[in-house]
Structures are given as structure tokens and as C-alpha cells.
Structure 1
């Protein structure tokens, strides 16, 4: 059994790190630089997109954070991070809502693109405000995104909400703030965060 994690502490790799810590699995961390090693042939053989994170588990490559979260939950079932297969409707729905409509709406807004009403009919997220309202309803319906139990979907959705409210790409609505507060109390989140913080480049004095 081998598990290698490719990342950079200033990237979405923090999502995969948190998920890895939730599984309790042993893994090797390979830290890549955006301008050099992330674009080297050796890493492009792992992920031709030249992006992190990626994991290689027993020779199998998984990229894209939502996929990493879903994969690891299934690969390490003893961690209890996925509902039974008969009860995964909300689990899949909200994990992929966050990786689809939420990601698209936030990215487009950050790039200054606001769809017209006609364009909104074509876009999977409709418009940014609609996406935010639906996401708020989802995180406020239950303690966790699928109900009363924490799952891998909370790692992905929670990371999107935490990042968004921290950096201003999502509004700091009470439901978002309360949801993030519940998640960031988890030991696995704090362990992963500490490991990534320790890898951050030293800040030069002002």
C-alpha cells in the first residue's frame, strides 16, 4: 500500500490534506513549486494540467479536489467518511454542487464576468446570487451537509465556504460562519492546517 500526496501549502492542496488527515492513513507528502517542479515532466506525467493537488494511491492517480475527497472516503471506509451507498443523494449532490456551480460562479465573479439573464440560462449556476442563496440553504438545513454526521462532502463544501468567507468570494452570512466554525474544530482539520502552515515560505520582515 502506498499513498503519495502532491501539493503546495498555498493551494487547494489544503483541501486534500484535510481529507487525508480525516482518513488516518499514512501518506508521503511531495511539495511542489508553482513555477518549476509543478511544470516538470516528472509531475506532468502525474497530472498533465500541472496543478495540485494530486494523489497516487497504489499506482492510481486522482486529481481534482472533490474527486480526491470522494475517492479517499471509499478507499478508507474504516474512517466512516461516506454514507452507505443507499444514502448518498445529499452527499453527491452537495459535493458536486460545490465543485460545479459554486466554483464556476465564484471564478466568473472574480474574473469580472457577470452573466446576462440569457447567459444565466446557459450557465449551470444561473447567477452568483442564486448560487449563494442555495448554498446557504444547504449548510443551514442540518449540522453537516448531509445531515447529523460529518462526511467527506463537508471537507469539500466546508473548504469552499471557509476559503470564500475568508477571502471575500462568499459573503459572511451567519449560516456560513457557523458551519465553518463547526468544521474547523475538528482535530483532523487542525492537524492538516498546522502541517501546511509549517510548509509556508518564511515571510520577509517589512
Structure 2
């Protein structure tokens, strides 16, 4: 495995790549960026032209978009993915990319509660809608879970969705969803999760109520 450098902002989508790298047990380094205009600098735009994290430097180039990075890493290492032709390949892809649906709703709530600091900038209606949509995503996971993990065994799908749920539950409680709660507890018990999820946070609160 060639050297890997992850460009990362805490409490962002790049956290799921950080968790995955720990689970894959490959050597890597991390460069932490601030959630500010430095992501629009020429230096960072050369790594991710959208000015977002993650960006992953590997094999002499930069990769971006979390779903793509997850697929690339799992194929390269040969672990935690589901190869083409595998019976669970389609479901694995669905879960990996469903994490982005959850994250988009969480990002909208983060924008309203964290980034837009003045009350007049926020839309209470939009925040309520986005928090409710997180709840619908939680319902989908609850309804689909039938074992310890999303598929027949732990995979990068659990990493992708688990990180998204970890972020989204700041805006909608897991509540009375016992399968989701138990699965999330299993995710949190993993050493890779613990290694990736510490450090500084964008959030000043554990939970943000939508009034």
C-alpha cells in the first residue's frame, strides 16, 4: 500500500473515511483543516475542486467524494467491501450511498444551527423538515436491520451509515428504534470508531432541538 494522506475536518463527511482507514488497518497520515475559507484556497482546491472534505491523496493523485473513496479503498485493500458479482454487492452500494442522503439532511441542520449564527438567517420551517427527514432515514435503517450489521458481516457500509447517523442524531433522536440503537452501539464499541471520533467538534451541543 502506498502512502495515504487524508485531508479532514472534524465532524464532517471526512470522518467516515478516517474511521474506514482505521478499520482497514493501513498506514496513513491526516491533515486537519479548519471549517473556514481555507477550504477555498488554491492549495485545497487543487485537491478537491468543490472545496469540500474529504480529499484523499494516494497513488500520486487526489480522490474526492466519500462514496467513491470508500469504493476505491475497499477495492484496493480487498477488505470491507463487496466485489462485483458478490451476492451483497448491490445492497452494499445502496447502503454506502444512502449515507450521503442522511448526511445531506444533517448538513442542512448543521448549516442552520452552527454556520448561520444569527436567528434571522435561519428558517425554522426548513430545519423542522430536515430533522423530520432524518427521522425517516432512521426509520428506513430500523426497518431493514435484521442482524448485527447492515449486511451478513461488518463492512464499509456500516462505517458509512454509522458515521452519518452519528452526525444526524444531533438533530433527531434515535428514540424508540431498538434495532438502530443496538446497531449504533455495536458501531461505537469498535476500536476504529473510537479512534476516529475523538478530538475537537464543530458542535457546541450534543443535541439541537427544533423549536
TM-score by length of 2: 0.74
What is the DSSP-based 3-state SS (H/G/I as helix, E as strand, rest coil) of the residue aligned with 1:175?
A: helix
Find the aligned partners of 2:49 and 2:142 in 1 and give their Cα distance: 35
Find the aligned partners of 2:174 and 2:47 in 1 and give their Cα distance: 36
How much does 1:20 deviate? 0.8
Query: Which of 136, 147, 150 is the equivalent residue of 2:142?
Result: 136
What is the DSSP-based 3-state SS (H/G/I as helix, E as strand, rest coil) of the residue aligned with 2:85?
A: helix
Residue deviations 1:117-175 (CA, integer Å, cap 9, x gap): xxxxxxxxxx666544222212x22211112x10011100111122222x033533222
**RMSD of the alignment, in Å?**
2.6
1:59-138 alignment runs, 5 A limit: 59-77=60-78, 80-87=79-86, 88-100=89-101, 102-106=102-106, 112-113=125-126, 130-138=136-144
The answer to whether the 8 Å contact 1:161/1:176 transfers is: no
How much does 1:63 deviate? 1.7
Q: Structure 1 pair 36/76, CA: closer, same or farther in 2 (3 Å)?
A: same
Query: Which of 157, 169, 172 is the equivalent residue of 2:172?
Result: 169
The answer to whether the 8 Å contact 1:12/1:53 transfers is: yes
Structure 2: 5+ residue runs without aligned partners? 113-122, 202-211
**Alignment partner, residue 209 of structure 2:** none
What is the DSSP-based 3-state SS (H/G/I as helix, E as strand, rest coil) of the residue aligned with 2:18?
A: helix
The answer to whether the 8 Å contact 1:32/1:38 transfers is: yes
Find the aligned partners of 2:11 and 2:191 in 1 and give their Cα distance: 21
What is the DSSP-based 3-state SS (H/G/I as helix, E as strand, rest coil) of the residue aligned with 2:197?
A: helix
Residue deviations 1:185-206 (CA, integer Å, cap 9, x gap): 1122122234xx1xx28xxxxx
Find the aligned partners of 1:38 and 1:104 in 2 and give their Cα distance: 19
**Alignment partner, residue 186 of structure 1:** 190
What is the DSSP-based 3-state SS (H/G/I as helix, E as strand, rest coil) of the residue aligned with 2:72?
A: helix
Find the aligned partners of 1:36 and 1:98 in 2 and give their Cα distance: 26
Find the aligned partners of 2:9 and 2:134 in 1 and give their Cα distance: 29
Aligned length: 181
TM-score by length of 1: 0.76
Structure 1: 5+ residue runs without aligned partners? 117-126, 202-206
**Alignment partner, residue 120 of structure 1:** none
